[in-house]
Structure 1
Amino acid sequence: MSSPLFQPYDLGGLQLSNRIVIAPMCQYSASDGNATDWHLMHIGQMALSGAGLFVIEATAVEAEGRISAADLGLWNDANEAALRRVLDGVRAHSGMPIAIQLGHAGRKASVARPWEGGAQIAPTAGGWQTVAPSSIPHAAHENPPHSLDADGLRRVRTAFADAAKRAARLELDAVEVHGAHGYLLHQFLSPLANARDDAYGGTLENRLRFPLEVFDAVREAFPHDRPVGMRISASDWVDGGWDIEQSVALAQALKARGASFIHVSSGGVSTEQQIPLTPGYQVAFAERIRAETGLPTIAVGLITEPEHAESILAAGQADLIGLARAMLYDPRWPWHAAAKLGAQIKVAPQYLRCAPREVARLFG
């Protein structure tokens, strides 16, 4: 029997050669939002890995939406030109489909890079004023965000749509709207971060409203023959927070709006979260959303072994497997998975002679 992990997949009309998705991984290596040579190196090696799809890291739709000052952006012509240079270099040597994750950090913006401590930088210390659904900081000691008013909501929606248009001009194959990990759209979804008393807060219907408006704006701005999906945090891992039942409702609404997939993660909105970090700890969320909505799901989270990834697909728990840290640790993970599972994988001709004799026949 052929390996489920290496079966092709049609993702909203985008043909993938296998079920391995390289999930977005922030590199904190941009200059004023512009992609640099680091991105050419990073994306280039991932694009030669043999995975079915690469998703570019969380890319800010406006300068204030960056997590750090070194985040990738797509809000102006310079950002677009810099990313085009990288993509042209990668595409000259790889046919792997490339998607992009568009996001806004909200109240979790204006922080130092992880290797510089990751703490929030206040406006008085060289950072910038953050925005959010409500004036509630992520951590009690942080600078409170400004609550978005009607003009602010309109500006952010427009920024997402404009970034999607830029993504289309860059001929990116898909867009993933970032609604996870405690960033702006997740902040609107979660009652832990959203204390509004207008049409965008309170009831589930109201808390869904702005993320769905953003999704609609992106879906309208991006070519309809290319897929658009969303990454979500299926649970806040905090009592009284966002949970799987609400995530199913969101997935149903996204499907009705033409979403092609949902990328199922969790956590990130509260410092009180209690996450059981075990292999595949988020897979059950993807399984339930898939079962109750029929929406194609990407499962992610401490999936490091090919046999584990294979078993998730074989059991019908997800349609695709997302890998992030595992790919950084082993950029040839798909090669090694193919060797273990007896599957064939396409390899750049420059590398064909590198395979050990016993697995060389698996290199297409």
Structure 2
Amino acid sequence: MGKATGETERMHALDGVRGVAAVVVLLYHLTLMARPRLEETAGLWEWITQSPLRPLTAGSEAVLVFFVLSGLVVSIPALSSSFDWLRYYPSRLIRLYLPVVGAVLFAVALIVFVPRLPGAITPDSWLADRVASSVSLSQVIDESSLLPQTYTIVNVLWSLRWEVIFSVLLPVFVVVGLAVRRRRALAAVVSIALMVLGRVIDVDALVYLPTFFLGTLIAVSLPELRAWTDRRNRRGSGLLWGTLAVASVGLLIASWLARPIAPAGSDLSAALWGLAGAGAAGLIVVAIGSPLAKRMLSARLPLWLGRVSFSLYLVHVPVLASVAFVIGDGRWWLVAAISIPASFAIAWLFHVAVETPAHRLARRAGSRVASRHDRVPEPIAS
């Protein structure tokens, strides 16, 4: 979820995509908080989640957009022959881990100072089951390490675990991406098939790693993709981009739209959910190629959202949970009215106080490691 670098600096729309996706995740968690009350009105929960409104709250699917973005923007610099792997690893891991630790400590502070009494929220709800109401030192250490599979202090950290795995395996992704470059269409189909299989047999690695790889495929194919989009745009391609955008959104939320005939938990629903990664990749292609999408996503508000998106992603659940425990999830509309602006304000402060210094430290650490290696004398030939 790091910001674009190198060649992607000219693709400001990608920052806009990142910002929009972060807001979708925020709205998704708001609906999970409000679900007990929304289900009291017949058909309201289904109307929100199984209709064309679903893209506004498709949080799990928005995370796949993040994964494709990371596969793209992290791979592009690595494709250069001058890329410094010794600089990359410490820099990348610091950029990920320091904000994570900051977010965990922020959430712990809220848990300690804001009472989380069980009677304030609905039993067996998302807040009751998936958000911590107390913490231990061992739990803080475990979640900050990004080693567990599930998280309750900052429950979005499950996705950062996969970001770390992808970041460590980046050389493999780049090598494979370059190897299949001439058969990228086939490679994309195989990746999508693996994602579908992963959903059906419930193997997360088969779902998420191919999603990152779709981003890597876009990275290795970027010159050809840009040449193709330039030719299309010169001929006028509004219908093409509109169709691709609608189709991509459709794939992203296909499992939800099909709920009436493919109930959650069925193999068909799982298979349709496996197509969400393809939809995420399609939206990234639209953001890169569509002139209208680029103008919209490069506007001031989407770019600001993109700037604080990582921080917003990390802090919004602790803020939402704290407000809900104080007010009660029965008044979900008031929780939303308070927690949304509070999340944006705290995200900006977190961006300034934690994320930006982490980026500076990451750059310095990477440069120091690289310079130390450069100073190591070459062995004398015997």
Structure 2 length-normalised TM: 0.31
Higher strand share: 1
Higher helix share: 2
Structure 1 length-normalised TM: 0.32
Higher relative CO (Cα under 8 Å, sequence separation at least 6) belongs to: 2
Which structure has the larger Rg over C-alpha atoms?
Answer: 2
